[in-house]
Copies of this chain bind each other. A is one copy, B any other.
Amino acid sequence: MRVARAFNCHLGLADMSQQMSCKELMKVLGLGAVAFILGVEWLNWLKRRLRDSRGPLKEVLFFPSPQVCVEHLFIRHKHFPCACPLPHGVETSFSRLLVHLLSSRVSLDLCMFSFSHMELSRAILLLHKRGVVVRVVTDRDYMTITGSQIGALRKAGICVRHEMSSAVHMHHKFALVDSRKLITGSLNWTLTAVQSNKENVMVTEEPELVGPYQQEFQKLWEANNPANHKPQCTNGQLNIKTCKDK
């Protein structure tokens, strides 16, 4: 009798309901649901295992990057038809760099020798507006060159410190997103570097690489604290006054 009923389970639901008691039908449906959930969970586990076996994020971007529209990266949760003449919906090295920067949720620590790129400045200002704690260490000489965005960041209240010694350059070009994602390479944040030069940027979440850069940032941040130095220029004083130093 039971064998016959089990065989009938392969038939349609209507037939089953005729031949099975309501209790048995519930049992079969319940077991099916459990099997389905277990299957889905197993697939997720498999997916996680496959992802973990590839290790932490490692991405390499090369420049120059072609000019494309990146407006959609700045305006979240809004689909709007951008009217600019640049190509739309194209992923480039520059758009990938922006995506990684704009993924900051808590903090962004930036060590940048030369920073004059308008859209990268816009990204940093947007993060600051979103409440992300942004800290910038830059070069003493290059922060005042024509087109430098350092002034705009300071005016917005972002904490910027610069290399205190006039004899050396702060030549790093790296960023740390939420203290877990490192963006580093040869690329200064200038229009020429992004659109013309042969440059490289590496993005990684490898803790063995992120850790030393985070320590280096902290070291430079503390070493260039204007509070520990005699005031030498207006910029140093401005730094103390305008940003909420963390």
Please report A residues at the B interface, Cβ cutoff 8 Å: 54-55, 58, 60, 62, 64, 111, 113, 163, 167-174, 184-187, 192-193, 196-200, 202, 204, 206, 208-209, 212-213, 216, 220
Contacts and interface: CB of A to CB of B under 8 A. Distances in A.
A206 B193 CA distance: 26
A200 B184 contact: yes
A208 B111 CA distance: 25
A63 B203 CA distance: 21
A111 B198 CA distance: 10
Secondary structure at chain A's binding surface: helix, strand, loop or mixed?
mixed
B196 A173 contact: no
Copies in the complex: 2
Contacts of A111: 198
9 contacts: A54-B208, A58-B206, A58-B209, A62-B216, A111-B198, A163-B198, A171-B186, A171-B198, A184-B200
B197 A173 contact: no
Contacts of A170: 197-198
A213 B200 CA distance: 9
A197 B171 contact: yes
Contacts of A186: 113, 171-174, 184-186
Nearest to A211: B60
